[in-house]
Structure 1
């Protein structure tokens, strides 16, 4: 029986993996919202907040600092950029709120798993110590602070 070993992430990339954790929690919150029968409009408000205050900057950081470690024509980078583009569209097009929420939940989770398991592993293996130091030097960001205005994912007691 094979077991999956935990991924060892270089310290310079820890903050991005923490961002990914928050993104996976967003996916869980959306699933939980549907499970609890929450009005999709409430979930949309939270997703817009999450995009504006968290995910948008995360994508920009990856695109400016992380992806350039690999060649521009690298298929993994191309896939990540394509997924970023698709997710940007989803977070800006709310014509059918329920459908968009379901797509965000599905596509964001798949994207994060791809970056953590495949892309970041490759980047970490190929990055020079100078490149990793440059990434670490940029890590002057505030920690994630939850928006507690409407925690729709919590079961009221």
Structure 2
């Protein structure tokens, strides 16, 4: 018997939409690599995405989402470790296809973890007041992509 998926609380929905864009980044990297696109082009986009979207997203989660769990909580620790790993990968001095491939894989696994495991746990333990505060703090902006070099097409 399948578990019925839990509806995402409206306070977490903007973060889930951010996750969708992160999954698209993974897809774009994977597609660019499969088409043998010059890795410099892929890195330019990936670095832009990291600075413009991932860093603010990570900061939001670390300050307001993960803190809802005890700092010794295994899920919290894994999420923070994933963020550290991704930050290290983006700052690698070796800007090659192998590192891009690792970013693509790690980012997708991390997002799936947050969506399937971490966020449902947050929804179980967070109070309505805490969720309302998250909703107030994280005002969603319309995603604006960098389309000057659509290497993935």
**2:76 corresponding residue in structure 1:** 77
Partners in 2 of 1:3 and 1:59 — Cα distance? Answer: 31
Partners in 1 of 2:37 and 2:102 — Cα distance? Answer: 17
Deviations 1:71-91 (A, max 9, x none): 111000000000100000111
Deviations 1:48-103 (A, max 9, x none): 00001000000000000001111111000000000100000111114141111000
Gaps of 5+ in 2: none
Give, in angstroms, the shift of residue 113 of structure 1.
Answer: 0.4
Calculate the TM-score normalised by the size of structure 1.
Answer: 0.93
Give, in angstroms, the shift of residue 143 of structure 1.
Answer: 1.9
Per the alignment, do residues 153 and 3 of structure 1 end up closer, same or farther by CA in structure 2, a change over 3 Å counting?
Answer: farther
User: Number of paired residues?
Assistant: 153
CA RMSD across the alignment: 1.3
The answer to whether the Cα contact below 8 Å between 2:43 and 2:95 also exists between their aligned partners in 1 is: no
Mapping 1:38-57, distance limit 5 Å? 38-57=37-56
Mapping 1:7-156, distance limit 5 Å? 7-154=6-153
Give, in angstroms, the shift of residue 44 of structure 1.
Answer: 0.3
Deviations 1:5-33 (A, max 9, x none): 44410000001000100000000001111
Large movers: runs of 4+ above 3 Å = 2-7
Gaps of 5+ in 1: none
User: Residue 150 of structure 1 aligns to a residue in which SS?
Assistant: coil
